């Protein structure tokens, strides 16, 4: 699905999030503790600069606006903000090598990202004004680094 210009950076990062989520799920499914240790360590090393930066961009650019709205878009913003908190807690408490924790993180990241792409973003494109979309883009571009392999 073609995304509005203002959401393309976030959408591109979502692609990377899905790749990471799938990597978590596949690695955890092997039950190989060494692989789980390595991937958990990688997630911890990139979490603040990559994943949490992405979460903060969404919270400042999108969820600050959805919080002022009503209906499904408001409810999605609230749910997705809560899921950001859950993933922050999961990452902070991620025990290196625990394949179950890695799988749980991967499942949440995957379902969260799909919900944003499939339900939230179409509503944002439909209901946000041009000015609001420009605000989202401005906040995202101001803090996002332009590179292809962020995760």
How does pLDDT run along the chain (151 residues), one tens digit per residue?
Answer: 578 999 999 999 999 999 999 999 999 999 999 999 999 999 999 999 999 999 999 999 999 999 999 999 999 999 999 999 999 999 988 877 799 999 999 999 999 999 999 999 999 999 999 999 999 999 888 776 544 445 5
Torsion of CA 138, 66, 24, 99, to 10 degrees: 130
DSSP 81-117: HHHHHHHHHHHHTPPTT-HHHHHHHHHHHHHHHHHII
* All residues at 6 or more sequence positions from 38 whose CB lies less than 8 Å from its CB, including other chains: none
- The region that residue 94 occupies, defined by phi over 0 for left and psi between -120 and 50 for alpha, beta otherwise, is beta
The three-class DSSP label of residue 47 is helix
pLDDT of residue 151: 54
> How far from 20 is each of 52, 74, 95, CA to CA, in Å?
14, 27, 17
pLDDT of residue 144: 64
**Domains of the chain, earliest start first:** 5-142 (1.20.120.520)
**Which pTM does this prediction carry?**
0.92
CA dihedral sign, ordered 104, 105, 106, 110: positive
Task: Provide the token pair at 56.
Answer: 């903060």
In contact, 73 and 7? CB cutoff 8 Å: no
pLDDT of residue 1: 59
């Amino acid at each position: 699905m073609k995304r509005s210009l203002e959401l393309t950076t976030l959408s591109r990062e979502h692609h990377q999030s899905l790749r990471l989520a799938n990597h978590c799920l596949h690695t955890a499914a092997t039950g190989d503790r060494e692989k789980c240790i390595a991937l958990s360590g990688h997630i911890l090393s990139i979490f603040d600069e990559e994943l949490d930066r992405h979460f903060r961009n969404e919270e400042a650019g999108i969820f600050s606006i959805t919080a002022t709205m009503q209906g499904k878009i408001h409810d999605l913003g609230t749910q997705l903000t809560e899921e950001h908190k859950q993933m922050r807690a999961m990452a902070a408490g991620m025990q290196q090598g625990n394949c179950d924790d890695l799988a749980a993180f991967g499942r949440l990241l995957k379902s969260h990202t799909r919900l944003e792409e499939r339900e939230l973003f179409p509503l944002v494109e439909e209901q946000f004004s041009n000015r609001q979309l420009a605000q989202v883009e401005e906040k995202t571009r101001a803090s996002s680094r332009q590179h292809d392999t962020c995760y």
